[in-house]
Structure 1
Amino acid sequence: MEKILISSCFLGNKVRYDGGDNLIENETIERWRRENRLVVICPELAGGLSIPRAPAEIQISDTSIAVKTIVGEDVTAAFEGGAQQALQLCERYNIRYALLKESSPSCGSSTVYNGEFNQQKIPGQGITTAILRANGVKVYSEKNLSVLINEFRSFELAQY
């Protein structure tokens, strides 16, 4: 049975940096949950960060990419570690699709915050998304959930 990697916060788990969630109430996601198709991860927790934690954003310079908190702590290693754990789950369960939180420094698939902590978004992808995509996993967000649902349905039908 084909599985989907999903951000833990989408299932109502209070794993956001501020202790909140990003619950998605969707009939298809509920069906996938009942069918045991969902493999759940919060890459930031998997990388060793706590709840609550300081907000973090990707910061890009001429020579490097880092993830830093609003107080200047470099948490890049934790983000990379969580991304590697997400990849290991995808490899273990042969996962081809992921539904991850848009704009997150881990999970963003088309936008991330600009690194200046001013609520401005820029085109980009999070650390986990980049690693998953580099390894062939198709990453979607809540913004294009319907595309994932349709593509997954087509993929499933093609398997029979």
Structure 2
Amino acid sequence: MYIVSACLLGIKTRYDGGCSCNEKLLKLAGEGKAIPVCPEQLAGCPTPRDPCEIAGSDGGDVLDGRCVVISRNGADMTEKFIKGAEETLKIAKVCGVKKAILKARSPSCGTGQIYDGTFSGKTVPGNGVTAELLIRNGIEVYSEETMEDIMAGGQPTEESAEDAINKDALSGKSP
């Protein structure tokens, strides 16, 4: 089971009221293996909404109180983004989810790269607020652009440690 950004599943939750549908993830959802979440909506933000970016740093610094999330019109959205991250983490814990596939570059969901806070389209290394909170809680996080790291045969896999050990034992490898 995976937490998946709702916008990647064709749900119109993006800041602009659109979605970023991904066919592989849509298939995963159709198999009952994806839990759609939108941290901003979980925090009570409307759709559509003003675009937001992390001002001058990344989600880790937001969580640690060292920087803020701002909207294009200058509103401080930090509390909303932290609340959305916390609600997403609650869902992951309740459902026993260990992996997430989140929207690239988003101030909530971005993994490895996020927009730089200038609303210029430039990116910087870092994670969004939700991605960072999930990582800090032991959940593996991928974007739709890096999910190939967990894909096999066109679908994410969830091979358990026991399955891997059994497969190695059958092939003569020692664990």
Same fold (TM over 0.5): yes
- Conserved? CA contact 2:147–2:156, under 8 Å: no
The alpha carbon displacement at 1:148 in A equals 2.1
Question: Where does residue 11 of structure 2 map in the other structure?
Answer: 13
- Conserved? CA contact 2:9–2:29, under 8 Å: no
Structure 2: state its 5+ residue gaps: 167-175
Could you tell me how far apart the structure 2 residues matched to 1:56 and 1:131 are? 18
Moved more, 16-25 or 145-154: 145-154
Q: Structure 2 counterpart of 1:45, which letter?
A: Q
Instruction: Give the number of aligned pairs.
Output: 156
Q: CA RMSD in A?
A: 2.1
Question: Where does residue 153 of structure 1 map in the other structure?
Answer: 157
The TM-score, its normalising length taken from structure 2, stands at 0.82
The alpha carbon displacement at 1:92 in A equals 0.4
Which 4+ runs in 1 deviate beyond 4 A?
A: none
CA 1:113–1:42 in 2, change beyond 3 Å: closer, same or farther? Answer: same
CA 1:84–1:57 in 2, change beyond 3 Å: closer, same or farther? Answer: same
Q: Structure 2 counterpart of 1:6, which letter?
A: V
The TM-score, its normalising length taken from structure 1, stands at 0.90
Q: Structure 1 counterpart of 2:54, which letter?
A: I
Find the residue that maps to 2:82 and give its secondary structure: helix
Find the residue that maps to 1:6 and give its secondary structure: strand
- Residue correspondence of structure 1 range 10-159 to structure 2 within 5 A: 10-26=8-24, 29-60=25-56, 64-150=66-152, 152-153=156-157, 155-156=159-160, 157-158=163-164
Structure of greater Rg: 2
Q: Structure 1 counterpart of 2:33, which letter?
A: R
Identity of aligned residues (%): 35
Could you tell me how far apart the structure 2 residues matched to 1:159 and 1:81 are? 39
